[in-house]
Amino acid sequence: MSNNKKKLLTPVQQQYQEMQSQLETKRPVLKNCLKAFLTGGSICLIGQAIQIFYIYFFDFTEQTAGNPTAGTLIFIAMLLTGFGLYDRIGQFGGAGSAIPLTGFGNAVISAAIEHRTEGFVLGVGGNIFKLAGSVILFGVSSAFVVALIKTILIQWGGL
């Protein structure tokens, strides 16, 4: 805990929090990292297989196969979310299943399912990006900044 936050606590509170944190079950970080690596890796492996499938059996190149691959992965994530399996994978895999494209799909779809009972417009429409909205906002803005830096470097930096 930051010192700033600690200053606001009374000695009794500080004492209790210290005692509490000793007894608190810690997140098994190393084990979680390993699980996340395996889960995320497996999802990417499946993605790779789908991409090769599209290139091999259809008229796609490595550049153009990206979109149908992403679509297929999101479709699979949608099915898994709807059948109530993705949250179990998420509890096992942590960031491994949250970071890839499928995690983003799960965030959107789970919110849509959750708010279905409140109607299509205010329920699904108003809440579908409840979790994914911040990913879109900060993803787009950081991409803009990165692109700006790249442009400046190429235009005036002589790269």
Partner 1 sequence: MLQGHRTWVFDHKPVILSTGTVGGPFEANGAIPNDFDLLHSDLWLNQDSYEKAHKVLFEQACLRAIEKAELQKEQIQFLLGGDLINQITPTSFASRTIGTPYFGLFGACSTSMEGLALGASIINAKGAKYLLTGASSHNAAVEKQFRYPTEYGGQKPPTAQWTVTGAGAAVLSDTGDGPCVTSATIGRVIDMGLTDPFNMGGAMAPAAVDTIEAHLKDRNIDPSYYDLIVTGDLGKIGHEVSFDLLKKHGTPIQENQYQDCGLMIYREGQPVLSGASGAGCSAAVVYGHLLNRMKQGEFKRMLVVATGALLSPLTFQQSETIPCIAHAVSIEYEGGATV
Rule CB under 8 A: say whether 9 interacts with partner 1.
Answer: yes
Min. distance of Cβ 43 from partner 1 in angstroms? 11
Stated as kind and residue range, the H or E segment containing 65 is: none
Could you say whether residue 2 binds partner 1 (CB under 8 A)? no
Which range, of 2-10, 45-53, 66-74, 140-148, touches partner 1 by CB under 8 A?
2-10
Tell which positions 76-95 bind partner 1, by CB under 8 A: 81-82, 84, 86-91, 93-95
Q: Contact between 114 and partner 1 (CB under 8 A)? A: yes
The DSSP string of 1-53 is: --HHHHHTS-HHHHHHHHHHHHHSPPP-HHHHHHHHHHHHHHHHHHHHHHHHH
d(CA 43, CA 73): 9
Count of residues engaged in binding partner 1, rule: CB under 8 A: 42
The number of angstroms, rounded, from the C-alpha of 109 to the middle of its chain's C-alpha atoms is: 13
The residue type of 103 is G
Q: Which residues sit at the interface with partner 1, rule CB under 8 A?
A: 8-10, 12-13, 16-17, 19-20, 23-28, 32, 81-82, 84, 86-91, 93-95, 97-98, 103, 106-107, 109-111, 113-115, 117, 130-131
